[in-house]
Each structure stands twice: as structure tokens, then as C-alpha cells.
Amino acid sequence: MAPPSTSDKCPPSSAFDQNIQIKVGAEPEIRTFPVHKGILVFYSGYFEGALRPTSAFSEAATGIVDFSDEDPAIVERFVHWLYVRKGALNAEDYDGDFFMDMLCDLWVFADRRQVPLLMNDTVDTMRDEIVRTWTIPTRQLSYLYENHTADSNMRRFCFEVVGKAGVTGLLTNKKRSVYNKHVLWELLKVAWNRELQDYWRKEDVQALELCPRYHHHEEGMTCKKP
């Protein structure tokens, strides 16, 4: 069964059963996060495969997940999200643009571990933060280009917001030098296809229907149409 991509799906009570451990980082600073196996399997296609009894992954036998290459802060946020979902995506824990940075990192993690609902939640939260602070995510563009694939919904969303709401200032000589030519080209493509009347204001971003264009769902599924 595909992991859930809409917020109306919740894990059954039986998911709160066996604990496993996620170990992050390297000696001597390894951090260990205890998590219910059933919760991981419910939300993540990656864990559903890795932790099934017939899996060849060592995690299935040991109950220990080695995430030595992952960022402990991102894994901690992921584990928090597993239990409180969007309540874990709280801007109060971060200063300024660092919250948007975290959302971009978390989307990459969710994509890699096949957690579509978290991917969608991070996009929704990015939009909410843009509207709340009316901060256009220009600082994140280079990271998004270098670390997100071309079909990344987070990358598409941020580039379109910048291209339709804040691109003009980025094309001045002073600002242009901050970005490589590939980032600028992506922005220009968005801006070129934008009609003058399509310039996005704060209320336009707030009113955006994020699903399905910026969400990740299995075929035939949307947030409105199960």
C-alpha cells in the first residue's frame, strides 16, 4: 500500500507497537531517536520496504536504522512530525530565513525516504511562512537548484513565487551576481511566461491552490478527491 499523501489518513492504534531506534551522526556524537516501527511503516514507503520481515535490509532484523549521513536536526524534526504532523513545523524555533532553509532540507529528506504527506506539509508551510512574513524565498534558490531535482514540487513552488512576485529586483546587476546562470535562467523562464496582470501579490500567494500542482500524490489522488 502506498504511504498516505493526504491529511485525512491517520495510523491505526496497532502502529504504536514495537520500538526501533534511528541512530544519526558519527561517534562520539551519535544521537538516538526511538520511534514506533508501525508509525514509520505507515508514513514512509522507504521504511515500509526496509522494515518488512522479509526485507534484506539489516534494519528489519536489528531494529536499528543507521542514518549516519543525515543531519540530526532534520531527523529530529522528522521524528517530531511523525507524531504531531504539521505542529512540528514551527517557525518559532528558527531565526528568519533559517526556517525556510529547514523546510527545503526536510522536503529533500521526505522525498528520499518516500514520505509524501511530509513533502506536502513542507510546501504548505513554506507558503504559510511566505504569507506570514511576506518574505520571498530568494535566499533558498541556489540551494533548491543544486539539491532538488527539476521535478521537485518545493523547487517549482519557490521558483514560481520568486519569478512571479519578486523577480524584478534579482535581475539588477548588483543582485544578479549572487546567482549562477542556471538559477537566473529558471527565473527568467517563469517571468517570461508571466503576464503583467499575473504579478503575484501577498493575497495571491495566500489564495494559491497548492494541490495538485505543488503536491505529491499517487495517481488519481488529490487533497480534495480521494
Q: What is the pTM of this model?
A: 0.89
Domain assignment present for residue 4? The answer is no
Domain assignment present for residue 221? The answer is no
Domain assignment present for residue 217? The answer is no
State the pLDDT at residue 37: 96
Nine cell digits for residue 165: 512576485
Task: Report whether pLDDT(177) > 80.
Answer: no
DSSP secondary structure of 208-224: ---TTTT----TT--SS
How large is the average pLDDT for residues 85-100?
86
Helix (H/G/I), strand (E/B), else coil: 20: strand
Domain assignment present for residue 6? The answer is no
Domain assignment present for residue 225? The answer is no
> What is d(CA 135, CA 225) in angstroms, rounded to the nearest whole number?
31
Domain assignment present for residue 155? The answer is yes
Structural domains counted in the chain: 1
Domain assignment present for residue 216? The answer is no
Task: Report whether pLDDT(4) > 70.
Answer: yes
> What's the CATH code of the domain at 193?
3.30.710.10
Domain assignment present for residue 19? The answer is yes
Tell me the residue range of the domain where 89 lies.
13-206
